Structure 1
Amino acid sequence: MKFIHTADWQLGMTRHFLSGEAQPRFSGARLDAVRRIGELAVEEGCEFVLVCGDVFESNQIDRQVLVRALDAMASTPQVTFYLLPGNHDPLDAASIYRSNTFTLNKPDNVAVLDESGSISVAERIELVAAPWMSKRPLRDLVDESCANLEPSSALRIVAGHGALDSRSPDADNPALITLARLEERIEAEELHYVALGDRHSTTNEGTSGRVWYSGAPEPTDYDEIDPGNVLVIELEPGKIEVRAHRVGTWTFKRHESHLASDADIDALEDWLASLADKERTIVKLSAIGQISVAQRARLDRLLEMQTDLLAAFEPWERRTDLVVIPDDADFEALGLSGFAHEALCDLRDAASSGDDQEALAARDGLALLHRLSGTAQ
């Protein structure tokens, strides 16, 4: 028996650093991933797709996103999608799963796991669901869903969402999922696979090889270790095979650049040029070091060009410490006279006065003079 384990689609997600047409492309890629998951399920001969929470970014997403998501799942009618409400889209009074739009547009191959406990989904195959009914549960929902399981010869797959107690620094959180209890149930053959959502990085938990976070099918942030995957699970009594399949198309990258010379700027330029699929790449840059005014002008021009090419280009402010040191050669190369030369002298004096806001603004002004004069390399 094969199925696909996925989670954290968070359809309708927005990112503050995406502007212009980048945000629609980001949103479109998440919907495209849903179609690819259905197509992969058909190719692999999977019986169903299990989505373990946070299918939607919230219960208040745009109607168009919801309708298009349901249409994407309907495009592979031979595959059933089981949707588990998570902390982003809990089954509360305002639940998106109870909205008229969802009810009227839900295709026959989409089912919501809206009750805690076991349901039969095929011959000798059971799903043990642990849906979120609110954003802040006060108990281990997964353990509760398994509490009253009767002895069975069926293969049992848990669908859960949330943080494991083995990972969380908040030991007092009553909603943490108890890993040791899951491993005990696996050892006793009460459970055969635990499919989890919430962690966006594909992760094998515990020692049994049967407790997994699938990760998000499209990356959502810089801290994710191995996002962009879904898991194809092949399960039979006494045997399991877990294979990760890449479906994501976006990339988040952090880069630290130490700058002290033109060669260092060359290296940064080469790294940026090496990035593939720039329109789906988001970069956060840390710049550290000391450069001249002319080098700062060159750097500004490089970063301006990359801002136009990349989906988003952000300064990594907490890790940035770039000092501009005015150099005599910077000013001689300008060849300014009259009023412009007087302004240059004023900026030079201000730039050398320390590291206060006025000095920083003066250094920015000197870099701009280089760019406007056409002497920046």
Structure 2
Amino acid sequence: MPSFLHTADWQIGRQYGRFASDDAVALAEARFSCVERIAALASEWQVDAVLVAGDVFDAQTVSDRIIRRLFNALQAYAGPWLLLPGNHDAALVESVWSRAVRLQAVPDNVHLLLRPEVHRFPAAGFAVLPAPLTQRQTNRDLTDWFDSADTPAALLRIGLAHGSVQGILAADIDSPNPIAAGRAEQARLDYLALGDWHGLKQVDARTWYSGTPEQERFKANGAGQVLKVEIPGPGAAVQVSAHEVGGYQWQQWQRDIQLASDIDQCIADLDALPDTSVLDLALRGTTDLSGLQRLQQALSVAAGRFRSLACHWGELTLAPSAEDLVSLQADGYLAEVVEQLQQRQAGPDAEVAREALMILATLMRDHAPAGSKTCN
């Protein structure tokens, strides 16, 4: 049975400027490693081709070294790689693709689908109809030509496109690079492999977005996978299965803290995450000094274990308990300062006030007379 791997939106050369430099480098490297895993799967499963539905590169300006590294990453699979230009790497007159050809970096088994023309693979039993973008944005449906394209009846008709299927986005959003809903049926396609949508999405029985194989956003949209597509023959039902290939798992959490048990649960959740996590955590609510210290300790441990951890404390208020104040021996002027800082946590300087209160509490605890400290 003919089978394929469908993937898209590799965006090789992507930069991660909002992350710390070591995390940014690791996340960029992960995209090469992910392609290598796709190549290994393609070889292991002996698929007939790997379909890459656009945005192989993140930009036209990636370095020659990145171009060479990308094509080196394909080496584990000797079958056909079918690479389609997307909006990030459109087939301009002078493009990342023309540079790759000039560098002689493109292996013989890699097919650059730079023009809208049928590519036949009779020995493997399929023909490919590509809709390459030749500019970053267009308001014309580049898959129109699929309907009238002639292919041998014995070959599967596989479409490859990069853009937005009409009717999926909200009605008031005018999306560029449109693709007609129902194109697979209109063009008698056995399968239409799409890119541009970074999450996994089925459009109809024969049309899928594979999503980016290496997650790069805090969205629970099925990213981080590759699709295995099996088609018994022309006109037969398509069998599609998703397989994890991503190296990092991106998660965005919001945790409400009111009770000690909320902190216990947050710490347990952190402990359960894999080391390959990229976590964005927002904390809100109220905690006392001992609770805040527990959170800080747990997050410090997690930050050393995860690929990246960003914690937002802005909506978490520090409210020292009566026991905290007794243990800190906060009275007189210090008690007034503590009270003022507590009140300021409700204003525009909340984060500064909370940090100041934490620093003051720590200093007071560290300089308390012997025997006055409590164990937490």
* Percent identity of equivalent pairs: 28
1:215 corresponds in structure 2 to 211
Q: CA deviation at 1:316?
A: 5.7
Amino acid at match of 1:311: R
Amino acid at match of 1:215: G
Q: Is 1:355 paired with 2:346?
A: yes
1:176 corresponds in structure 2 to 178
Distance 1:358 1:205 in 2: 48
Structure 2: gaps (5+ residues): 367-372
In structure 2, the CA distance between the partners of 1:6 and 1:38, relative to structure 1 (3 Å rule), is same
Distance 1:238 1:147 in 2: 15
- Tell whether the 8 Å contact from 1:7 to 1:54 is kept in structure 2 after alignment: yes
Distance 1:218 1:305 in 2: 25
2:246 corresponds in structure 1 to 248
Q: CA deviation at 1:53?
A: 0.3
- Tell whether the 8 Å contact from 2:58 to 2:88 is kept in structure 1 after alignment: yes
Distance 2:85 2:31 in 1: 18
Deviations 1:85-139 (A, max 9, x none): 0011111244100115763222212121000132213344210000011111120
Amino acid at match of 1:365: A
Q: Is 1:152 paired with 2:152?
A: yes
TM-score by length of 2: 0.87
Structure 1: gaps (5+ residues): none
* Aligned positions of 1:218-229 closer than 5 A: 218-229=214-225
TM-score by length of 1: 0.87
In structure 2, the CA distance between the partners of 1:316 and 1:82, relative to structure 1 (3 Å rule), is farther
Distance 1:357 1:199 in 2: 38
- Tell whether the 8 Å contact from 1:84 to 1:131 is kept in structure 2 after alignment: yes
Deviations 1:305-327 (A, max 9, x none): 3223222222468xx63223343
- Tell whether the 8 Å contact from 2:345 to 2:354 is kept in structure 1 after alignment: no
2:369 corresponds in structure 1 to none
Q: Is 1:65 paired with 2:66?
A: yes
In structure 2, the CA distance between the partners of 1:354 and 1:59, relative to structure 1 (3 Å rule), is closer
Q: CA deviation at 1:163?
A: 1.2
* Aligned positions of 1:73-222 closer than 5 A: 73-76=74-77, 78-99=78-99, 103-123=103-123, 124-143=125-144, 145-150=145-150, 152-153=152-153, 154-169=155-170, 170=172, 172-173=174-175, 175-185=177-187, 190-206=188-204, 209-222=205-218
Q: CA deviation at 1:353?
A: 5.1
Q: CA deviation at 1:147?
A: 4.1
Q: CA deviation at 1:168?
A: 1.9
Q: CA deviation at 1:47?
A: 1.7
Distance 1:327 1:352 in 2: 14
Amino acid at match of 1:69: L
- Tell whether the 8 Å contact from 1:233 to 1:243 is kept in structure 2 after alignment: yes
Q: CA deviation at 1:177?
A: 0.9
Distance 1:168 1:359 in 2: 38
Q: SS at 2:227's partner residue?
A: strand
Amino acid at match of 1:328: A
How much is the aligned-residue C-alpha RMSD, in angstroms?
2.5
1:237 corresponds in structure 2 to 234
In structure 2, the CA distance between the partners of 1:299 and 1:223, relative to structure 1 (3 Å rule), is same
- Tell whether the 8 Å contact from 1:165 to 1:171 is kept in structure 2 after alignment: no
* Aligned positions of 1:279-294 closer than 5 A: 280-294=276-290
- Tell whether the 8 Å contact from 1:17 to 1:314 is kept in structure 2 after alignment: no
In structure 2, the CA distance between the partners of 1:359 and 1:327, relative to structure 1 (3 Å rule), is farther
Q: Is 1:330 paired with 2:324?
A: yes
Deviations 1:254-282 (A, max 9, x none): 22212112221111111101111x2x211
2:14 corresponds in structure 1 to 13
Deviations 1:292-349 (A, max 9, x none): 24423332333233223222222468xx632233433322212479xxx855642433
In structure 2, the CA distance between the partners of 1:353 and 1:91, relative to structure 1 (3 Å rule), is closer
